[in-house]
């Protein structure tokens, strides 16, 4: 992971979007673009309107003049007709939960100026170790390109994305993915629906045959990821699913490889100091420490010696094991 010596971006007005962050030089994939402490923090309870308003009033008293100016300049998605006072509408628009299942969140002045894309070029993460929000480049970003993040925890067909963003963030998305031609958009939607269908199928199954089938299904997901051009947190998440399934059958060799692949991507999108990276390193060293270890017995033996190239990948994703189960 590279760290930007100085800010590799400027804050600028972006036509049709308001403020945005624009790269001022080429930013290599994996660069930590931003590391920001919250202006203030809130818990899930404090996000209740009555409690949030009291909190904001209290917090604003402790801010410097520059911080107050920066705060009131942030986007407010709530109109006068909503009845939400601007000072609170700003908080409701910009407070970010630290994680999908985290009870706490915060407001970040710079990150709040980043606009959404359904296929973003950066990934944000709350680093529990440093207690800062980090932004990393998901790919090489060119000079003059806008830095974008996803406001959604999951992706899906265009019509579902559009409805979610309009309902929750009050804007119509015109990002690269949403702006595809009707034919290309339909093809993309079909791939995203295929991913969801495979994930649903993975949730139900047991026995040795399920293990082989699950690996084959996971391999299918990655094939669709490549076709759709997905390279984000979905990659390590699916590798972790593969790791957990391998652990359930005490398949140490596969478990270590899946954990390593998840680790490699997490380092790029979160940095070496991420607690998730530290946890994955432990699983690479000793997968048997995972809670799911050997919950479903042991995997059937398979041959790894002298394998090369695609044979190794076929073994890893269970093609050989699946064929043996089907033909047995």
The domain that holds 125 is classified in CATH as 2.170.270.10
160 and 249 assigned to the same domain = no
pLDDT band at 328 (very low <50, low <70, confident <90, very high): very low
Nearest in space to 157 (alpha carbons), one of 127, 116, 189, 179:
189
206 and 273 assigned to the same domain = yes
103 and 190 assigned to the same domain = no
Percent pLDDT > 90 in the chain is: 62
Of the candidates 121, 142, 169, which is a domain's last residue?
169
120 and 205 assigned to the same domain = no
The sheet carrying 146-149 orders its strands as 9-14, 18-23, 146-149, 115-116
Instruction: Work out the mean pLDDT of the chain and round it to a whole number.
Output: 87
pLDDT band at 203 (very low <50, low <70, confident <90, very high): confident
pLDDT band at 100 (very low <50, low <70, confident <90, very high): low
Q: How far apart are CA 226 and CA 220, in angstroms?
A: 10
302 and 202 assigned to the same domain = yes
Q: Is residue 1 part of a domain?
A: no
Of the candidates 117, 142, 169, which is a domain's last residue?
169
Q: Quick one: pLDDT at residue 326?
A: 36
32 and 165 assigned to the same domain = yes
Of the candidates 120, 142, 169, which is a domain's last residue?
169
- Domain that includes residue 147, residue range: 9-169
pLDDT at 1 over 90: no
Q: Is residue 212 part of a domain?
A: yes
Q: Quick one: pLDDT at residue 30?
A: 98
Q: b/e string for 232-269 if b means 16 or more Cβ within 10 A?
A: bbbbbebbbbbbbbbbbbbbbebbbbbbebbbebbbbb
Q: Quick one: pLDDT at residue 46?
A: 52
29 and 154 assigned to the same domain = yes
Rounded mean pLDDT of 146-172? 93
Q: Is residue 297 part of a domain?
A: yes
- Please count the structural domains in the chain: 2
Beta-carbon contacts of 271 under 8 Å, excluding residues fewer than 6 positions away, are: 1, 32, 127, 134, 136, 277
Q: Quick one: pLDDT at residue 319?
A: 58
DSSP structure string for 266-323: HHHHH-TT-HHHHHHHHHHH-GGGSTTTTTT--PPP---TT--THHHHHHHTTHHHHH
Q: Quick one: pLDDT at residue 155?
A: 83
Rounded mean pLDDT of 222-236? 95
Q: Is residue 3 part of a domain?
A: no
Rounded mean pLDDT of 113-130? 96
Q: Say which range, 154-168, 169-183, 200-214, 230-244, has the weakest mean pLDDT.
A: 200-214
Rounded mean pLDDT of 151-177? 92
117 and 261 assigned to the same domain = no
Q: Is residue 175 part of a domain?
A: no
218 and 317 assigned to the same domain = yes
Q: Is residue 93 part of a domain?
A: yes
Q: Model-level pTM?
A: 0.87
126 and 213 assigned to the same domain = no
pLDDT at 52 over 80: no
pLDDT band at 327 (very low <50, low <70, confident <90, very high): very low
Q: Is residue 188 part of a domain?
A: yes
Q: Quick one: pLDDT at residue 80?
A: 83
Q: Say which range, 31-35, 226-230, 305-309, has the weakest mean pLDDT.
A: 305-309
Q: Is residue 177 part of a domain?
A: no
Q: Say which range, 139-143, 168-172, 262-266, has the weakest mean pLDDT.
A: 168-172
237 and 98 assigned to the same domain = no
100 and 123 assigned to the same domain = yes
Q: Quick one: pLDDT at residue 300?
A: 58
pLDDT digits (tens, 9 = 90+) for 286-319: 999 999 998 877 765 554 444 455 666 777 886 5
């Amino acid at each position: 992971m590279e760290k930007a010596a100085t800010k590799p971006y400027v804050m600028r007005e972006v036509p049709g979007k308001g403020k945005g962050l624009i790269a001022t030089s080429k930013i290599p994939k994996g660069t930590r673009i931003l590391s920001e402490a919250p202006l203030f923090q809130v818990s899930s309870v404090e996000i209740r309107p009555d409690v949030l308003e009291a909190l904001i009033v209290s917090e604003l008293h402790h801010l410097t003049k520059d911080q107050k100016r920066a705060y009131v300049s942030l986007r407010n998605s709530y109109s006068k007709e909503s009845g939400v006072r601007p000072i609170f509408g700003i908080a409701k628009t910009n407070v970010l939960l630290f994680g999908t299942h985290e009870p706490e969140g915060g407001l970040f002045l710079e990150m709040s100026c980043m606009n959404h894309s359904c296929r973003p070029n950066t990934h944000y993460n709350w680093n529990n170790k440093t207690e800062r929000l980090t932004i990393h480049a998901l790919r090489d970003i060119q000079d003059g390109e806008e830095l974008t993040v996803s406001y959604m925890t999951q992706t899906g067909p265009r019509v579902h994305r559009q409805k979610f963003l309009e309902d929750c963030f009050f804007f119509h998305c015109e990002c690269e993915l949403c702006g595809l031609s009707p034919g290309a958009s339909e093809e993309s939607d079909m791939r995203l629906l295929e991913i969801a269908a495979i994930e649903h199928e993975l949730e139900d199954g047991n026995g040795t045959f399920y293990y082989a089938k699950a690996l084959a299904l996971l391999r299918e997901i990655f094939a669709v990821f490549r076709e759709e051009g997905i390279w984000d947190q979905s990659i390590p998440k699916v590798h972790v699913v593969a790791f957990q399934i391998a652990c359930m059958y005490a398949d140490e060799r596969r478990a270590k490889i899946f954990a390593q692949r998840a680790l490699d991507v997490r380092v790029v999108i979160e940095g070496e100091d991420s607690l998730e990276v530290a946890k994955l390193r432990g699983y690479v060293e000793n997968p048997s420490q995972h809670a799911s270890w050997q919950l479903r017995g042991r995997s059937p033996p398979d041959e790894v010696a002298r394998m090369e190239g695609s044979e190794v990948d076929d073994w890893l994703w269970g093609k050989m094991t699946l064929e043996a189960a089907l033909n047995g």
